[in-house]
Structure 1
Amino acid sequence: MRFPLRFPSGPPVTFKARLHDARTATVLGRLLGLAFAVCFTTGVLSHFFQHPPVWLADRLPSRPYWGYRFTQGLHVVSGIAAIPLLLAKLWAVYPRLFAWPPFRSVRQALERAAVAVLVAAGVFELFSGLLNTFQWYPWPFSFVPVHFALAWLLIGALMLHVAVKWPQIHAHWTRRSPGTLVLPEAAGPDRRTLLAAVAAGVGAVTLTTAGQSVSALGRLDLFAPRDPAAGPQGLPVNRTADAARVTEASLRDWRLTVAGPRPYTLGLDELRALPQHEVTLPIACVEGWSRNARWTGVRVRDLLERAGGGPDARARVVSLEAAGAYRVMEMGRHYAQDPLTLLALRLNGEELSLDHGYPARIIAPDRPGVLQTKWVGRLEVA
């Protein structure tokens, strides 16, 4: 199969590869569409857990306690796996992308414009998401809102593309479809070999990066941005005390203020004298890494109840950090009243290090790491 193309000037260019055909593109498109669907669904969940709208804040569940760890890990794993699939899909269809003239009718012009949006959004969404896992932001805009908005643009363009191309997709969906091209045995690398190579590439990329999210694959974690076991007290640190401008000197006279109908304050020794509870919960960050740890501290619901909060009380938590997007954190009632939610004082049997939020931090089930507020100075009945 050949695809002759003619550019504005110069001789015709002929693509001789025998696998730039509709059947190959359909098979790769199915796999890529599945990866996009998983990545989009888990990404929307992640966004609403991280930035819940008012109507959803009190409805977000705190169980299963590992829920966010699972969905966010799946989000990052599926996004990384989609990169080689997208590259393979673009390779299969690139002769069509550069066909000349670019369109012959208004309908074809609209179709190609949708494809341009789909390709541009897909490439930028996946590669910017990959850079986010490295916490590298070489652009002047805020990553989270742009990434979220672009995801909707991408999924919309994908649905439009599938709708327009459905007759061709249906014609090449299976090997027995009437439109499927059967390649001769002597035609060089066949479709099965190509797909096996793509599958091997996706598998290699996934196995060597998923260890930051899947503990069982930790030994294969060769290329993931983070090692979940590397860091003070066995946990990585995204935001250090220096970055938050919190120092030991500023904490010398630290006291926790609990605001409510019956407000009170507690020093660190008074907090340690209260009933202590130990839980094993994961820290799960939006960059995809996660790790279980043992946390010891006072239940948040006990602190809220002492301040006059009822059984449905929510909480507002204020950090001592000087500035930051998550300095003030709102906690819905399911989290605030969950017995696993602690104002933690100890990590893995040791007093919290300064980078992990000394003297006190929040640890709650099924929450993004950015909402596990460190250096807590004020807790309010909301």
Structure 2
Amino acid sequence: MTLRLPRRPFARRPPLPAFSGKLHDARTATVIGRLLGAAIAVCFVTGLVSHVLQQPPAWLMDGLPARPAWGYRVSQGLHVASGIASVPLLLAKLWAVYPRLFVRPVVRSVRHALERLSVAVLVSAAVFELFSGLLNIAQWYPWPFSFVPVHYAVAWLLAGALLLHLAVKAPEIAAHWRSRSPGTLALPEEDAPDRRSLLAAVGAAVGAVTVVTVGQSVTPLGRVDLLAPRHPGHAPQGLPVNRTAAAAGIRPRAEVRENWRLTVSGPLPYALTLGELRALEQTTVTLPLACVEGWSRSAEWTGVRVRDLLDRTGAPPTARIRVTSMERRGAYRVMEMGRTYARDPLTLLALRLGGEELSLDHGYPARIIAPNRPGVLQTKWVTRLEVL
């Protein structure tokens, strides 16, 4: 007797999706793409400015401009705002083109294979840059690598992939750049309202996410700063604190007051107690504190001009300085400042903020405040100035 097992039915490959939507077309992708490209270009250029100001090459350190005083505030605010605006644009762009993922055959030629590879790199880099940037704004780093160098490196990868994509797609982009470009078929009249509705919705999304976050750097929009991680006005002494004294390992205020000395190292080295520093000529300036996370706020600072301290030690006009903080750990515990910053009359070793003595979290007893400079380089808890 022969036992026959029932045959399994032949497993058929599921059919590919059928896309009936009329807006997954080249014209829609081009319109959204040029807006996304503009936002990414602004984000890339301002990010490059920020990187150079934070980590200048040695040959450029003495040539970095200290004016306009609000320069970094504007450039970094634009960087974060354009990055946030790019998120809904990127999602809309991917929605317009994703049916092409299901086109068969997957690869038609060597040129087509390279094109798809470049698109994969472009999309991956864009997604990484935008969403890692969002997490940086919230100061949440759920990854094992250092954010700044990786974010900077991937930005160049994104720029290269974007330029390659534009070069490959140039004929198609040119053909669909205008609504009625010569040599292309016009979209049926009945579909025009749908495209306008889609673009209006994307524009509204871009405007909404920008308006409710940009108030952290654009003061007039502070009242609608609903989704930004911090409101610059709601903080000790009117300024947010990214790194607290406890996180930096700073001793209690009374102990700092008793033991602190400012050491100035140069041709004629000297040291000052806090009382002696307060007895020197005090200067008051209004400068913004602007951080890489995109928030900024102007404040009134009072202290001793750094160039006066350098003149007292006999430093030459071309000298740069090294500033050392009391904090026990941190990537910016030691900072170098080029001569344009060190000699600028707005650059202070600040002792007071808004007419009040600095709080411990804001750098008591003394901190650097300089024009057109990232917040991470406005060193707090300064204990040593060294002429280089």
TM-score interval for Structure 1 and Structure 2 normalised by the shorter chain: over 0.9
Deviation at 1:230, TM superposition (A): 1.8
1:45 aligns with 2:49: yes
The equivalent residue for 2:201 is: 197
SS of match in other structure, 1:212? coil
The equivalent residue for 1:279 is: 285
Deviation at 1:305, TM superposition (A): 0.8
Deviation at 1:312, TM superposition (A): 2.1
The equivalent residue for 2:34 is: 30
* Structure 2: gaps spanning 5 or more residues: 1-11
C-alpha separation in 2, matches of 1:30 and 1:284:
30
Q: Mean Cα displacement is larger for which, 276-285 or 307-316?
A: 307-316
Between the two proteins, the alignment pairs up a number of residues equal to: 375
Deviation at 1:134, TM superposition (A): 0.3
1:120 aligns with 2:139: no
The equivalent residue for 2:343 is: 337
- Asked if the contact 2:16/2:102 (under 8 Å) is kept, the reply is no
The equivalent residue for 1:13 is: 17
Deviation at 1:184, TM superposition (A): 3.1
Percent identity reads 73
Partner amino acid for 1:134? A
SS of match in other structure, 1:366? coil
SS of match in other structure, 1:301? helix
Deviation at 1:99, TM superposition (A): 2.0
Q: 2:334 aligns with which of 302, 311, 328?
A: 328
Q: Deviations over 1:1-25 (max 9, x none)?
A: xxxxxxx921232111110000000
1:354 aligns with 2:340: no
Q: Deviations over 1:178-234 (max 9, x none)?
A: 354533344485211111111111001111110001111111111111111121101
SS of match in other structure, 1:297? strand
Using structure 2 for the length normalisation, give the TM-score. Answer: 0.95
C-alpha separation in 2, matches of 1:20 and 1:189:
15
Q: Deviations over 1:72-103 (max 9, x none)?
A: 00000000000000000000000012323221
C-alpha separation in 2, matches of 1:257 and 1:332:
19
Residue correspondence of structure 1 range 61-210 to structure 2 within 5 A: 61-178=65-182, 180-187=184-191, 190-210=194-214
- Asked if the contact 2:322/2:337 (under 8 Å) is kept, the reply is yes
1:230 aligns with 2:230: no
C-alpha separation in 1, matches of 2:83 and 2:15:
39
Deviation at 1:356, TM superposition (A): 0.2
The equivalent residue for 1:313 is: 319
- Asked if the contact 1:39/1:78 (under 8 Å) is kept, the reply is yes
Deviation at 1:250, TM superposition (A): 4.4
Partner amino acid for 1:164? V
Partner amino acid for 2:377? L
- Asked if the contact 2:180/2:186 (under 8 Å) is kept, the reply is no
- Asked if the contact 2:348/2:368 (under 8 Å) is kept, the reply is yes
Superposed CA RMSD in Å reads 1.2
1:54 aligns with 2:58: yes
- Asked if the contact 2:81/2:214 (under 8 Å) is kept, the reply is yes
C-alpha separation in 2, matches of 1:220 and 1:12:
45
SS of match in other structure, 1:15? coil
* Structure 1: gaps spanning 5 or more residues: 1-7
- Asked if the contact 2:17/2:102 (under 8 Å) is kept, the reply is no
- Asked if the contact 1:278/1:296 (under 8 Å) is kept, the reply is yes
Partner amino acid for 2:121? V
Partner amino acid for 1:26? T
Residue correspondence of structure 1 range 237-248 to structure 2 within 5 A: 237-247=241-251, 248=253
The equivalent residue for 1:5 is: none
Q: Mean Cα displacement is larger for which, 59-68 or 97-106?
A: 97-106
The equivalent residue for 2:261 is: 255
Cα 1:278/1:246, change in 2 over 3 Å: same
Q: Mean Cα displacement is larger for which, 187-196 or 359-368?
A: 187-196
Cα 1:12/1:311, change in 2 over 3 Å: closer
Using structure 1 for the length normalisation, give the TM-score. Answer: 0.96
